[in-house]
Structure 1
């Protein structure tokens, strides 16, 4: 059995449309109650005050309440009997008894009961007072008395009374009319509020429907914003922005997963080949198949080379992983001319048969970068050029500072120019991919690891630069690298002693 729910819990389950409609109707109801009670509290006293003023006026001049042509000094029976029917008019004797009145056509239950103590002395004493009388049926009357003199002697008193039933009837009519109009206003307000809320929340219903479809996996859905300056419009635009980012994040995630799977597959393929070779030579040695010193030496040589290749591959993988982590670079002002000479010396020591020349920029440009990464960048590009060009083929390192459009950050460039077979145009964008080689056989002896140019691209992007492959005039490949130019200033101190 479920426990009894509190009002707040039940209220929380009510729809927003119903809440707004209910609150609006409740506010209208309270407003009408306050207006009705306030008006009623003013209306009845105003009517009583008006009646009081009328009776006081009749005390001074009773003519309007008597028959037409009546004279207070010479009152006749007809003057009283045919008095104005809006009032009860009676001529009293000196002892307070009724001599005659205008009640001939009125039910006695509705007439005021005249007390016997309304004698002449009492009338004289209370001549300026207004007092109340009651009828048999409980109707209240408000009355005044006027003393009558005949030849200077007390002749009785004239009683004029006005009933409060007319006031009560007017108040009751007001309450009935106000109640009817109040109910009509409440119903109309509820209907208009419901229509307005439903119309206003139509975009919110679309948001709800779109969210439902997105929750089912349709991430291409978007909210149609027809009124961007409303609260619902702001909500729709915010949700669309969020969905765009979410969609982009999902695409990036899927792209990253695909790249990771391909990366793991390629890395496994690259590592499996040398491992199979190492294992094969080890098994040959264990089974005694290698009998001579020459065979053993050849096997050990092959094992050592495969281990070196695996070490190189693992180092390249670790370098790419560090670059992917976007670790902060140790930036400084680096002289490109000097770096190019250092790289040429290294290449000459590695391949003495090659002519590696440097074409300096006379402006001696400095780039803002990480010394170790920029040296690695040049080394990888020169190594790639030596690997894919015939032995003895020359290589040039060209330094330049190109002009850039106004408003664009200045850059310095270096190019590694070789004179080999070149790179076909259709694969120039693909060669910077990880484990991509033009040699589809994946022979490590001829194709390398396939990570050198991927490392080059990652280093350049980490520095905010650009790299691309071009055709060398006369044949060959030219790798063009742009790095941000750095003026030699206090915040970018140039490296005086370059550590090798």
Structure 2
């Protein structure tokens, strides 16, 4: 069962946040920033924990010391009451001091320590009353003389409290507010966090600059490889002059080792390309020379065969048939030699004529010739209202059309409709040859423009072709700076030639098979 469309769509999209697809520079900066973040968290957490422990130890020391002084006063006149109208020594404003009897009742004064003015005019520490619920909450604490945090709620907030049993059997309770301590911890955390963030920003920027400069040699090596990859290496003479600069080929560094290895590889590739070009040039020269030399003996053979048939002396029918076959094969071989010579000249870069060519009239003349050669085919024209004129070699372009039409006539049965069209797309002229034949076998389509590429001769009404017609089409069109493409399916085969409206010479043959 196929997956749902959203899943397929998500899988087809590149993972933007996948580090595996990030550039090396980005990954290095990310790793560095990540390590700095981890280091900042560890240092900040350690500092905060240490400060928390230190501040709380100081609070606990004050708390225990003050609570130890929080003792009931001596009996007052034998009345049996404990009285304490002043906080114990060491108390500070905002602290809570209580003395409880064994029943949990407050003895004497107690509550929140406040600064107050006495009747004599001087200021001293006194008490403010606590709500009954707060007193009950404090009285409920276990008197184990161990400091602990306690949230008293309301306007009081968090307190550090210690409760212990005094000498009279009652309970002494002392509590210190934690607001200032918690504020200090928060401020230190904010300052530390801000400092870490600022350090991350500075380190990230500096790291990016340093890494960018450090990786510039690698970028230059990649630029050299990119230039080489853009060269046309498949044919012709190749000037492989690109090399990694000497400054980036130091084998003691990783980038230098890569640069040196790339230069060695380019040297080997350059030598191989030169050897290949020399071999191709030799083969082309041989084909051109052989084709040129074969023209004379072939012409002589054809002449002697024709002369023998025109002799005044009667020629036996068997001998006449042999001479006709000799002349026919000589004519066929002459055409093959001419095709090979043309391809050799085009491969050698022989200049073509650059004259105005009316493609409309060229198509009309070519279709007229094709109609004479194949009268049983249905030839159709699709011409524009205005002529389409380009600059090129009219004779060679006529040969392109003749070969395309001969290909359609040879490989389609009688009665097949063949349509030849002319058009214009911007600054590009279009020639199309479409037939309604059986189509070209799929396995042959990728090789259709190669030399001596032939399908099964049984598809033809006559003998199989030499396999050079479409390669000549491709070579001539490419020499004009154009392209030729082909699309074939049973019932429709279409060749489209695209030619620039102005004179142009292509550097490399190119064709498209869709």
User: The TM-score by the shorter chain falls in which range?
Assistant: 0.3 to 0.5
Taking structure 1 as the reference length, the TM-score comes to 0.42
Taking structure 2 as the reference length, the TM-score comes to 0.41
Greater C-alpha Rg: 1
